[in-house]
Chain A
Amino acid sequence: MFDIDIIKLAWMSLWRRKLRTILTMVGIMIGTAGIVIMISLGAGLERTITGEFEEMNMTSIEVYAPYNIMGETDTNDIKNLTKDDVLDLRKLDGVKAVTPIYNYWGELDIGRERISGQLVGVDMSDAEDLGYELEDGRFPRNNEIIIGSKLLEDVEEITGNNSVIRKAVTIITMSMGEESIENEYRSRVVGTLKSTGGNEDYSAVMDIDILIDMVEETENRSNIVQTDGYESIRVVAENTEIVDQLTKEINEIGYMSYSTQDLLAGIGSISKYLQIFLGGIGSIALLVAAIGITNTMIMSIYERTREIGVNKVIGASVKDIRNQFLYEASFIGLMGGVAGLTISYVITLLINFIAGMIINAQAETAVSINIAYIPPWLAIFAITFSIIVGVLAGLYPANRAAKISVLEALRQE
């Protein structure tokens, strides 16, 4: 199948016309790089997002109080999320568990170190049904806490100690009012949580009623649930199939809610469209490049008519001539593809580097960002595709070259 002698001839004749070969190749290179970079942006986005959401509970629905655009006159009577709302939501069909969620800012003293983190209160009596999984230890009782996976990393790094379980901690609640008051509560870490992909990862999680007691004491107020309401209510459906239906029902009551599924589906389809759109632009660039190859090859045939005729006289078969030109075209495609892929790698590195700088400057943390990502299939696809483009672009010129009449070719000067 591979005729090494004809391949060598093809290579030699490209080499003889280095400049033109390179210029033609540049077209393919740009086209391939265009497609690869654009698809890699989409792929990177998708990977980042799905990576972020992978651990999330696909059956959970986050419920919020409706945002009142129209002001006080709105007929909607749900203003704050309270215990009644929790009870109402629990009554819905297909609900497995419901918990109110309350967040408060605080700090933890572990050993001699002080670590800031969020305090998240949930209904600990239902922890397992809510989808919380323990990495280690047990769920808390009374005012004990468990630590989210990301917070655990911080704690281990700062204390230099990787067994926080059963360690005594002091929870420091801080009121954010006019005068800041701090209260301290002696507590104990009893477990660590598996990642949920949510807020809990960065938080110390404890029972909501106890957290609210602490907050009321710190701020010296009572009934804060009645006045401020919960942050949100999390509804966990019995299975993934009914999540959509349940979300709709909850919204019909008048809440604002969305499920992790919604979020993923939305982002997934945006990224799909983005990839198709960007890949399309690259494809057009490649099409233009393909026309470039065809054009160059036809020019080359005009110039080489005599050479082709002579080669036929001295023993080249029709197939030899055709194959030589096809190989030339596919070499241009292959080299363009490899060059395009190479710059794509460089450019994606640059994109990720720059994006990382911008994001890290704002977030003051060191996150490694993968906005653009070239999966292996994309690299293989890019090379294969550019070779195919080369071959297709070379088909017409190659057949034309093969059909050249010897006598007419020899008559040409």
Chain B
Amino acid sequence: MEEIIKLKKVSQHYKMGDSVVYALSEVDLDIYSGELTALVGPSGSGKSTLLNVVGGLTKPTMGDVFIYDTNVKDYSENQMCLFRREHIGFIFQSFNLNPTLTALENVTMPLIFARVDSKDREKMANDALDLVGLSDRKDHKPGELSGGQQQRVSVARAIVNKPKIILCDEPTGNLDTKTGKEILELIKEMNRVNQITFIIVTHDINVANQCQRKISLQDGKIFNDERN
């Protein structure tokens, strides 16, 4: 299997007054194409930071981030936006849907920014919503949907552009156990059927145990990396 994400000695430092917080220190990591990886660790260990570095939402202080064979560390913010547009999807704990738009419109947004032809957009967005099992809630706004349904919308939004990588920051964190399980099943299905590479940050040990690989972070360092 080929490596799709490669981190080389990635460090992320935050200056807080006189002291420096080492959110990540010299992390080396290879993620293979099609892997379903869980990222666990105590609060403040650097899980979100690692995810954001991979997704280009923040630039590492030091080190290189290769996605495919491109070192995105040298990308400008605008270049990163364009890169993300094509290759990376995001799913958040708090859904981050636009409350003024319907489910269908929310899912259409990435297609608009990617300048997908307006003829194809509606079909693609509808297909994505069908895939996550929300065929009958397309015209509902997030406020009219349950937490689980909202997270399904954001899964649909993440997959609509058919990215090869999806980064999830505690996707089940705001959901009850049963709904969380359903979302995880959905993620596993996307991973299996569409060969999408997932990195899932989670506090839920049940979620982590169902992933193929479990990476544990502590104080900004990888201290355990195991495959189930």
CB-CB under 8 A for A318 and B110, given A16-B100, A407-B58: no
A313/B57 in contact, CB under 8 A: yes
In the complex, what distance in Å separates the CA atom of A315 from the CA atom of B83? 8
Q: Indicate if B19 sits at the interface (CB-CB under 8 A).
A: no
Which one, A307, A314, A317, A319, contacts B110 given CB within 8 A? Answer: A314
Q: Indicate if A86 sits at the interface (CB-CB under 8 A).
A: no
Chain B residues contacting A407 (CB-CB under 8 Å) are 52, 57-58
In the complex, what distance in Å separates the CA atom of A312 from the CA atom of B109? 11
Q: Indicate if B112 sits at the interface (CB-CB under 8 A).
A: yes
Give the residues from 1 to 48 in chain A that come closer than 8 angstroms, CB to CB, to chain B.
5, 9, 16
Q: Indicate if A133 sits at the interface (CB-CB under 8 A).
A: no
In the complex, what distance in Å separates the CA atom of A306 from the CA atom of B97? 10
Stretch at the interface among B61-69, B84-92, B132-140, B214-222: B84-92
In the complex, what distance in Å separates the CA atom of A9 from the CA atom of B110? 12
Which one, B55, B89, B113, B161, contacts A316 given CB within 8 A? Answer: B113
CB-CB under 8 A for A317 and B96, given A5-B112, A5-B118, A311-B113: no
Contact indicator per residue, chain A 315-343, by CB within 8 Å of chain B (1) or not (0): 11111100000000000000000000000
Q: Which residue of B lies closest to A320 (CB)?
A: B113
Q: Indicate if A351 sits at the interface (CB-CB under 8 A).
A: no
Q: Which residue of B lies closest to A413 (CB)?
A: B94
Chain A residues contacting B161 (CB-CB under 8 Å) are 315
Stretch at the interface among B74-82, B145-153, B174-182, B195-203: B74-82
Shortest C-beta distance, B82 to chain A (Å), equals 6
Q: Indicate if A406 sits at the interface (CB-CB under 8 A).
A: yes
Chain B residues contacting A310 (CB-CB under 8 Å) are 96-98
Contact indicator per residue, chain A 294-314, by CB within 8 Å of chain B (1) or not (0): 000000000000110011111
Q: Indicate if B115 sits at the interface (CB-CB under 8 A).
A: yes
Interface size on B (CB < 8 Å)?
26
Which one, B57, B85, B92, B97, contacts A315 given CB within 8 A? Answer: B85
Contact indicator per residue, chain A 349-374, by CB within 8 Å of chain B (1) or not (0): 00000000000000000000000000
Q: Indicate if A92 sits at the interface (CB-CB under 8 A).
A: no
Give the residues from 32 to 64 in chain B that come closer than 8 angstroms, CB to CB, to chain A.
52, 55, 57-58
Q: Indicate if A158 sits at the interface (CB-CB under 8 A).
A: no
Please classify the interface of chain A as helix (H, G, I), strand (E, B), loop, or mixed, using the class held by over half of its residues: helix
In the complex, what distance in Å separates the CA atom of A16 from the CA atom of B100? 8
A314/B113 in contact, CB under 8 A: yes
In the complex, what distance in Å separates the CA atom of A268 from the CA atom of B86? 64
Q: Indicate if B114 sits at the interface (CB-CB under 8 A).
A: yes
Chain A residues contacting B96 (CB-CB under 8 Å) are 306, 310, 313, 410
Interface centre among B82, B96, B97, B161 (most CB of A within 10 A): B96
In the complex, what distance in Å separates the CA atom of A315 from the CA atom of B79? 11
Interface centre among A16, A314, A318 (most CB of B within 10 A): A314
Which one, A9, A307, A312, A406, contacts B112 given CB within 8 A? Answer: A9
A-binding residues in B (CB < 8 A): 52, 55, 57-58, 77-78, 81-82, 84-85, 89-90, 92, 96-98, 100, 109-110, 112-115, 118, 157, 161
Interface residues on A, range: 10 to 19
**Total contacts A to B, CB within 8 angstroms?**
52
A316/B57 in contact, CB under 8 A: no
B82/A317 in contact, CB under 8 A: yes
A313/B84 in contact, CB under 8 A: yes
B84/A315 in contact, CB under 8 A: yes
In the complex, what distance in Å separates the CA atom of A313 from the CA atom of B114? 12
Q: Which residue of A lies closest to B82 (CB)?
A: A317
Chain A residues contacting B113 (CB-CB under 8 Å) are 311, 314-317, 320
In the complex, what distance in Å separates the CA atom of A157 from the CA atom of B85? 78
Which one, B58, B98, B114, contacts A307 given CB within 8 A? Answer: B98
A319/B57 in contact, CB under 8 A: no
Shortest C-beta distance, A36 to chain B (Å), equals 35
Extra contacts besides A317-B82, A317-B113 (8): CB < 8 Å? A9-B112, A311-B113, A314-B110, A314-B113, A315-B84, A315-B110, A315-B114, A318-B81
In the complex, what distance in Å separates the CA atom of A242 from the CA atom of B82? 73
Shortest C-beta distance, A214 to chain B (Å), equals 87
A406/B57 in contact, CB under 8 A: yes
Q: Which residue of B lies closest to A310 (CB)?
A: B96
Chain B residues contacting A307 (CB-CB under 8 Å) are 98
CB-CB under 8 A for A313 and B100, given A9-B112, A319-B78, A320-B113: no
Shortest C-beta distance, A328 to chain B (Å), equals 14
- Nearest 6 pairs of A and B residues by beta carbon: A315-B85, A315-B113, A317-B81, A314-B110, A318-B78, A316-B113
Task: List 20 contacting pairs A-B, 8 Å CB cutoff, sorted by A.
Answer: A9-B112, A307-B98, A310-B98, A313-B84, A313-B90, A313-B96, A314-B85, A314-B89, A314-B109, A315-B161, A316-B81, A317-B81, A317-B82, A317-B113, A318-B77, A318-B78, A406-B57, A407-B57, A407-B58, A410-B92
Q: Which residue of A lies closest to B121 (CB)?
A: A5
Chain B residues contacting A5 (CB-CB under 8 Å) are 112, 115, 118
Interface centre among A16, A313, A317, A319 (most CB of B within 10 A): A313
In the complex, what distance in Å separates the CA atom of A319 from the CA atom of B85? 14
Q: Which residue of A lies closest to B112 (CB)?
A: A5
Shortest C-beta distance, A307 to chain B (Å), equals 6
Shortest C-beta distance, A306 to chain B (Å), equals 7
Shortest C-beta distance, A317 to chain B (Å), equals 4
CB-CB under 8 A for A311 and B109, given A316-B81, A317-B82, A407-B52: yes
A312/B81 in contact, CB under 8 A: yes
Q: Which residue of A lies closest to B95 (CB)?
A: A310
Chain A residues contacting B92 (CB-CB under 8 Å) are 410
Q: Which residue of A lies closest to B169 (CB)?
A: A410
